[in-house]
Amino acid sequence: MSPKLSKILKITLPIVLGVFLIAYSLSKVSVNELLVYFKNANYWWILLGAVLGLLSHLSRAYRWLFMLEPLGYKVKLYNSVMAVFAAYLINYTIPRAGEVARVSVLTTYEGVPFDKGFGTVVAERIADLILMMSIIVVTLFLQFDFIFNFFLSKFNLPKLILIFAGCVVLGVIFLFYIKSSQSKLAVKIRTFVLGLLEGVLSIFKMKKKWWFIGHTLFIWTMYVLMFYITTFAVKGLQPMAFGAILVGFISASFSIAATNGGIGSYPVAVYAAFTLFGIAQAPSIAFGWIMWSSQTLLLIICGSLSLLLLPIFNRKLKLK
């Protein structure tokens, strides 16, 4: 596949998927029914959820400073904040382009070399990945009986044991292949994993590592609380088991990577998770759209203001 075609597909496929998933969600709940849910929603809970989301984004911007400082760069907090919000906004246009734009802001206004700035973003993502995996492990532990019974209802016990054993065997073969093979794919995966380990270890070598870890925990706590708090805004969702919240949160988090900013995929992912717990279809999809819309509106406002204010706040730099 040519690089040009690959680039086109990376841009168009998420958009096509998003449009398809929007149509799919609207086939489950009509636009008029969704509007009723939006009209009857408790916007105080939605506002509180948005505030928690805002706090997580501000914490992310502040956390970034801990990674830049050891490199010899004392970045202004307002530039870090605006770079983060600008990145979120740009991610709605081209997936992952926001990370490049985020680093470019500091290269332009703070003189941080692009390669070093991008390295800190990669290390950040590693920390976020670890927290995400930790949430998944906690969810599996808390909901083990539910998950086991769910798979047991789909497969009988002998088949379940056979599938598990097969996965273990395939996993061992895959690990052996990655460790010993010199093929391009194996080398690429091995290099990626080693890079992840190096990034994790670099976090613990920071002078302010505990501040970094504290902010990382705070960011993800705000994410989960934001999701949980907003469920109170939609009639038909309460009472809700905490396990359903965690499974819904995990499903929704992965959906953001599927399409631009999670458009279309977010409400479908929430619906898919909630229905496992017997939660009604209409409020599940409505909540997904309300949750996605409130956070998207927040990021559009803050991202647009950031792009507008960045040159104004840094006009003295241009004069120099």
Q: What's the half-sphere exposure (Cβ side, CA atoms, 13 Å) at 236? A: 17
The arithmetic mean of pLDDT across residues 30-46, rounded, is: 91
Instruction: Give domain status of residue 99, yes or no.
Output: yes
**Number of structural domains found in the chain:** 1
Instruction: Give domain status of residue 200, yes or no.
Output: yes
Instruction: Give domain status of residue 10, yes or no.
Output: no
Instruction: Give domain status of residue 97, yes or no.
Output: yes
Predicted TM-score (pTM) of this structure: 0.84
Q: Which of 103-112, 143-152, 201-210, 229-238 has the lowest mean pLDDT?
A: 143-152
Q: What is the mean pLDDT of the chain?
A: 83
Structural domain including 222 reads 27-315
The arithmetic mean of pLDDT across residues 238-251, rounded, is: 86
Instruction: Give domain status of residue 14, yes or no.
Output: no
Q: What pLDDT is recorded for position 10?
A: 62
User: Can you give the length of the chain in residues?
Assistant: 320
pLDDT of 60-77, one tens digit each? Answer: 999 999 888 877 888 899
pLDDT of 73-107, one tens digit each? Answer: 888 999 999 999 999 998 888 777 788 889 899 98
Residue 181 scores a pLDDT above 90? no
Instruction: Give domain status of residue 304, yes or no.
Output: yes
Full 3-state SS string of the chain: CCHHHHHHHHHHHHHHHHHHHHHHHHHHCCHHHHHHHHHHCCHHHHHHHHHHHHHHHHHHHHHHHHHHHHHCCCCCHHHHHHHHHHHHHHCCCCCCHHHHHHHHHHHHHCCCCHHHHHHHHHHHHHHHHHHHHHHHHHHHHHCHHHHHHHHHHHCCHHHHHHHHHHHHHHHHHHHHHHHHCCCHHHHHHHHHHHHHHHHHHHHHCCCCHHHHHHHHHHHHHHHHHHHHHHHCCCCCCCCCCHHHHHHHHHHHHHHCCCCHHHCCHHHHHHHHHHHCCCCCHHHHHHHHHHHHHHHHHHHHHHHHHHHHHHHHHCHHHHHC
pLDDT above 70 covers a percentage of the chain that reads 84
Q: Which of 29-38, 50-59, 77-86 has the lowest mean pLDDT?
A: 29-38
Instruction: Give domain status of residue 20, yes or no.
Output: no
Residue 212 scores a pLDDT above 50? yes
Instruction: Give domain status of residue 320, yes or no.
Output: no
